[in-house]
Every structure is written in C-alpha cells, then in structure tokens.
Structure 1
C-alpha cells in the first residue's frame, strides 16, 4: 500500500482508499500512521471487522483518522458492534 500511495502522491493524484480487509484494518492503520503515509490519504471508505482484534473497536480507527485531520462519518450500526462502515474525508491544504 505504501508504494501505491507514494506513486500517486508523486503524480499529484488524490489518494482514495476503499478498505475491506476482514479484520486487518487495525494493523494496516497502525502501519500507515507509523510510516507517516496516513497524512497523504484524502478519502477513506472502511469496512471494518474486529474478528482478529477483539480489544479494538470503530473508535480505534476513528481516533487515527481524527488525529490526521479527517472528518469522520461513522455508519456502524450500534446493534452490531463487531463490524461496520466508516467514511472519512480530509480537505487538502489551500
């Protein structure tokens, strides 16, 4: 994912990520944040699952996104807190 982000950034392209990783979203976000690449993404559409990360929730992802300046739209249904959808958008600096 890092290579694709770097190529898109070098070409001046908006970076939009649609993520459905069946529970690996939390690890991917930790890696993106640690590498500094999270700041290069403009829009996320995340279908998240806590199957492999029982201690983590949608709030874990939302904190990462808000820390990097994203407006977050959490569409997770409260009756099913084990999976959901999060949309996030960041306005580019002017």
Structure 2
C-alpha cells in the first residue's frame, strides 16, 4: 500500500475492485480511515486523474477549505492533471529545488 503525506497526516492509497462496478465512483477519500481508494482496471491516465482528484479532496477536508465539488474541486483536479502531465521536466526540477 502506497502512502502520501498531506498536512501532517499519512494517507494510505489503496485499490478496490468493487469501485469499478459503479463507474461514477472510481475513487474516494475517507477522512475517518485516512485513506484514498482507487478503482482497479483504470487506465494509467484515469488512475492519475483520479488520484489527483482524491488528493485535492483530502486537502480540502484536512484544511477545511470548503471547496464546492463540481465548480471548484473537479476543475482544480483537471488543471493539476494537465500541469503535471504536460510539464514533466518542470515538475521534476521542482523536486530538486532547495
């Protein structure tokens, strides 16, 4: 199981083959379990998009941002996915900045 640290919380990232049965729910974040669950069977692009979306859901919850799901959170997810996908060299360079 992979882990990601957000705001001092260690969030588990796991996969569940039951999520794919409901195509409208391919990922979910649980603040109670401190866990992001992704559906199995996703393409790499869908997996990356969904993980980014669930990370932003976790940030919204942890920092109590109050983002509106469709108008703000979904749009931010799409924007961040595009930035990460189209700017791999810049993202890699950020990893090494002090």
The TM-score normalised by the length of structure 1 is: 0.26
Work out which of the two has the higher radius of gyration on C-alpha atoms and give 1 or 2: 2
When you count helix as a share of all residues, which structure comes out higher? 2
The TM-score normalised by the length of structure 2 is: 0.25
